[in-house]
């Protein structure tokens, strides 16, 4: 496939939809219940409009950002995504390799199926995102494994205390734990490229059913087809601020909260000595009817000091979307689905092409905005076309 014919994230989305079985694409692309939050994430960008400045001398432009003393080439990274092996064999490695070559951060999901030690041994850096239970006996050995693997940034997801109502997955016959069915079999038959590149390669190369091998300290984890002892969510509903205070005492690296929507949570994270937050509604995959991430961003930014990093994910599809978030105070933007579309279509090369497209859009729009440096973006470059979010 000539990837140069794919000119936008939307092009990759359409290509991924044609390639993936309906049930798998529905899992990747869908939200919960009526899809209100999913739609709100995209709609929010329409209400933030650019206000360009002229005669700014934009021959030299920069989109690099610095976070905790480390400089990234572009103001975005790859968000954590679980079960990506359903889209590409050893998908996490494709994502990590593309991120490393592009000089952007990659966040490995705790619900990934490639052992983190393989990424470490390949010299591929990553942050780790965990679905953390409220149980110190489980947390302590997991954090030791993370330290041994050289993880410096621990991302704790706080918006999944219980499972969401993902009706679209049930209608498509897609469940976690994964269950085989006649419908899924014929879905795979109708998508031979996926069957060959994902299903067959997994069984023939790995000779085993993929496992959730990064969720706990035990490197074997459990098969994606089985329910672990204690349940899939393993006491996440017990997690509270006391556990975060304990983790702050135990963890020597950075701790970031992901799934922050309320400014009070960001303020408390700062007081507790955590290192940053990611404004997120889980890509519209948890609480339906929640505020769009972009709409939640300004109040979160206002609640914490300027040197406390506020990052964001949710609904980003264009470089212009990223610039709007930066102008509203985000330090870094994370994208999930667009990167997974790239991986599904063409592995590492597909992810790299998505990164290049976004980078080119950012560079072009910086010039059109009259802004030489992405770090100089602020409220002077945008206006709202609708009522300001509360």
Q: How far apart are CA 147 and CA 143, in angstroms?
A: 6
Whether 128 has a binding-site annotation, put simply, is no
Whether 27 has a binding-site annotation, put simply, is yes
Whether 211 has a binding-site annotation, put simply, is no
Whether 14 has a binding-site annotation, put simply, is no
Catalytic residue (one of 89, 94, 270, 282): 282
Whether 313 has a binding-site annotation, put simply, is yes
Q: Among 310, 340, 307, which residue's Cα sits nearest to residue 326? A: 310
Whether 314 has a binding-site annotation, put simply, is yes
**How does 186-218 read in b/e, with b if 16+ C-beta sit within 10 Å?**
ebbeebeebbebbbeebeeeeeeebbbbbbbee
Pairing of strands 222-223, 76-78: unpaired
Q: Do the beta carbons of residue 279 and residue 261 sit within 8 Å?
A: yes
Whether 206 has a binding-site annotation, put simply, is no
Whether 316 has a binding-site annotation, put simply, is yes
Residue 89 among the catalytic residues: no
Whether 336 has a binding-site annotation, put simply, is yes
Whether 315 has a binding-site annotation, put simply, is yes
- Sort 382 into a burial class: Cβ within 10 Å, 0-12 / 13-18 / 19+: middle
Pairing of strands 222-223, 153-157: unpaired
One-character DSSP codes across 21-60: -HHHHHHHH--STT-HHHHHHHHHHHTEEE---SS---SS
Whether 337 has a binding-site annotation, put simply, is yes
Catalytic residues: 282
Binding-site residues for FMN sit at 80-82, 109, 129, 157, 258, 280, 313-317, 336-337
Binding-site residues for glyoxylate sit at 27, 131, 166, 282, 285
Binding-site residues sit at 27, 80-82, 109, 129, 131, 157, 166, 258, 280, 282, 285, 313-317, 336-337
């Amino acid at each position: 496939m000539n990837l140069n014919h794919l000119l936008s994230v939307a092009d990759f989305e359409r290509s991924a939809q044609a390639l993936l079985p309906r049930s798998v694409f529905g899992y990747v692309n869908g939200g919960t219940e009526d899809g209100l939050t999913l739609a709100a994430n995209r709609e929010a960008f329409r209400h933030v409009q650019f206000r360009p400045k002229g005669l700014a001398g934009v021959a030299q432009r920069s989109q690099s950002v610095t976070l905790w003393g480390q400089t990234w080439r572009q103001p975005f990274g790859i968000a954590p995504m679980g079960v990506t092996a359903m889209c590409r064999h050893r998908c996490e490695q494709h994502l990590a390799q593309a991120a490393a070559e592009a000089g952007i951060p990659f966040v490995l999901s705790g619900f990934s199926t490639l052992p983190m030690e393989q990424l470490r041994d390949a010299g591929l850096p990553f942050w780790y995102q965990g679905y953390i239970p409220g149980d110190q006996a489980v947390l302590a050995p997991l954090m030791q494994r993370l330290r041994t693997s050289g993880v410096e940034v621990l991302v704790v997801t706080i918006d999944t205390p219980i499972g969401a109502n993902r009706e679209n997955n049930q209608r498509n016959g897609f469940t976690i734990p994964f269950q085989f069915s006649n419908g899924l079999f014929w879905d795979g038959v109708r998508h031979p490229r996926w069957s060959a590149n994902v299903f067959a390669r997994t069984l023939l190369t790995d000779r085993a059913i993929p496992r959730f091998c990064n969720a706990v300290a035990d490197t074997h984890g459990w098969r994606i087809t089985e329910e672990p002892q204690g349940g899939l969510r393993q006491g996440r509903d017990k997690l509270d601020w006391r556990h975060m205070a304990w983790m702050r005492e135990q963890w020597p690296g950075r701790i970031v909260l992901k799934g922050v929507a309320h400014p009070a949570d960001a303020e408390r994270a700062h007081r507790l000595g955590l290192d940053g937050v990611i404004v997120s509604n889980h890509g519209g995959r948890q609480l339906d009817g929640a505020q769009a991430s972009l709409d939640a961003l300004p109040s979160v930014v206002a609640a914490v000091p300027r040197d406390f990093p506020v990052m964001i994910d949710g609904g980003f599809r264009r470089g212009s979307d990223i610039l709007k978030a930066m102008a509203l105070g985000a330090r870094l933007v994370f994208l999930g689905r667009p990167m997974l579309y790239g991986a599904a279509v063409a592995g590492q090369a597909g992810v790299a092409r998505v990164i290049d497209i976004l980078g080119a859009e950012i560079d072009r729009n910086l010039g059109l905005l009259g802004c030489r440096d992405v770090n100089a973006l602020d409220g002077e470059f945008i206006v709202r076309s609708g009522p300001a979010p509360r």
